[in-house]
Chains A and B, each alone.
With several copies, the nearest count.
Chain A
Amino acid sequence: MKLGVFVNQYTKQNDTLDRLKADKVGIILVQNGVYNATIKEKGVKSSVLDKGTEVYALSEDLQSRGLDPSGIDSKVKVVDYGGLVDLVFNDYEKFIWL
């Protein structure tokens, strides 16, 4: 199962996310989920970044919030809406919006 997981909140913990063991889980950070790409609480990066084989963040949502692309974790690939559409059709089969 290629599962795309939209994380739309700056969330500290989510039971479902913690328990997922899909073959290929991709994390797609959108809306306030993009804070997970940059903010290091007490110096520690978000645990959301460790869940997926791939992690993406939506550029429009980063920019809206004043998040500096240079501060983004190197693991995170930045995509725009066009790139997101390609991810949706080419890289994942099913999606959940947490």
Chain B
Amino acid sequence: MASKKFLFMVDKLPYKAESSRLALTHAIASQTVDIHLDEDDEMEEPVIAFVGDGVLNCMKGQKALECYGVTSLEMHIKNALLTDIKVLICKEDVERLGLSEDNLIMDAEDIGADMQSEIVPFDDILQQMEKSNHILYF
């Protein structure tokens, strides 16, 4: 039996490249990956890490649906939390950009998610890079 771990990393800004949105939808697709795997293969719950200016994807109160008719990154991040994906936000970048937990999507309780986002030092993200079999850097 093989077990593998994937890390999704995002350093692109939202609403300019499609990257951050696709990072989230691909990570969430891990829910249904089983149908393509051998019976004894298993994919571990993926981790998604926002680094660099990519942490701006995690800002609260995004009104993209109202303004442009397209789901917000906020909705995608909440869906990720709902599907028990670990969401990491790089502490150094949060501080550099003058942000705090108050500005960021730290949970998705409103849609019933238990999982919470975590603001962690880059070193923790580096550890995830080391532990993962593959890194999908969006």
Direct contact of A and B (CB under 8 A): yes
**Residues 1 to 30 of chain A near chain B (Cβ within 8 Å):** 1, 3, 8-10, 14-16, 19-22
Does A75 interact with chain B (Cβ within 8 Å)?
no
Interface size counted on chain B using CB atoms at 8 A: 36
Chain B nearest CB, measured from A3 CB (Å): 7
Q: How far is the CB of B6 from chain A (nearest CB, A)?
A: 11
Using CB atoms, name the residue of chain B closest to A40.
B98
Given A32-B15, A94-B132, A97-B137, A19–B126 Cβ distance below 8 Å? yes
A35-B126 contact in complex given A10-B13, A60-B68, A65-B14, C-beta closer than 8 Å: no
Does A64 count as interface, using CB distance less than 8 angstroms?
Answer: yes
The CA-CA distance from A39 to B16 in the complex, in Å, is 17
Which of B105-138 touch A at CB < 8 Å? Answer: 122, 126, 129-130, 132-135, 137
In the bound assembly, the distance between CA atoms of A85 and B123 in angstroms comes to 30
Chain B nearest Cβ from A11, distance in angstroms: 11
The minimal Cβ–Cβ distance linking A58 to chain B, given in whole angstroms, is: 10
Given A94-B135, A96-B137, the answer on whether A10 and B53 have CB atoms closer than 8 Å is: yes
What residues on A are CB-neighbors of B11 within 8 Å? 14-16, 98
CA distance A16 to B52 in the complex (A): 7
20 A–B pairs (Cβ distance < 8 Å), ordered by A: A1-B129, A8-B16, A9-B16, A14-B52, A19-B122, A22-B129, A31-B15, A32-B13, A32-B15, A41-B97, A61-B15, A61-B67, A63-B63, A64-B15, A65-B14, A66-B72, A66-B103, A94-B134, A96-B135, A97-B137
Residues of A within 8 A of B (CB): 1, 3, 8-10, 14-16, 19-22, 31-32, 35, 39-43, 60-61, 63-68, 94-98
